[in-house]
Amino acid sequence: MDREFLIDLFADFGPVTIRKMFSGYGISADGVNFALSLRAGLFFRADEATIPDFEAEGSKPFQYSTRAKTVTVNSYWQLPARLFDDSEELARWARAALAAAQRAKVKKGPKAKKPVKKTLAKKVVTKKVTKRRVR
């Protein structure tokens, strides 16, 4: 999916920001990422409130393989294919995905700021020089 296709796809939803991410795009609204467009398909953010809708459609969570195992990301689920032909219903699913992403953001809370390192004044090390007597 290219950028223009995604912009058209979300036309009924409203303006979205599309940024390069991994092997595809991250899609956000109001500064919150709620969808991923990857080679494997389009994935919407999901949580305990929306996962049953994805399951009812026969969708699966996002998965990727590493050398050692297959990782399942249960917070993103593949958008049912039928929604690509129904822009109004896709917009409803996108609003639900944005709400799920916003709920997850509230659960996490604001990002903790890193403590600022205090710069210590350099200690001036003085060596006590003792005179040696020459005999």
Model pLDDT, residue 21 = 87
- Residue range 101-127: average pLDDT? 66
Model pLDDT, residue 107 = 73
Is 80 exceeded by the pLDDT of residue 46? yes
Is 53 within a domain?
A: yes
Is 130 within a domain?
A: no
8 A C-beta contact, residue 47 and residue 100? yes
Is 116 within a domain?
A: no
Is 80 exceeded by the pLDDT of residue 88? yes
* Tally of domains in the chain: 1
Is 90 exceeded by the pLDDT of residue 39? no
What DSSP state is assigned to residue 85?
Answer: G
Model pLDDT, residue 40 = 83
Is 36 within a domain?
A: yes
87 phi-psi bin (left φ>0, alpha ψ -120 to 50, beta other) = alpha
Is 125 within a domain?
A: no
8 A C-beta contact, residue 75 and residue 47? yes
Is 123 within a domain?
A: no
- pTM, to two decimals: 0.76
Judged by DSSP in three states, 16 sits in coil
CATH for 59: 3.30.1460.30
The domain in which residue 101 lies consists of 3-108
Is 10 within a domain?
A: yes
Is 100 within a domain?
A: yes
Amino acid at 116: V
Local confidence band at 127 (pLDDT 50, 70, 90 cut-offs): low
Tell me the average pLDDT of the chain. Answer: 87
Between 105 and 74, where is the model more confident? 74
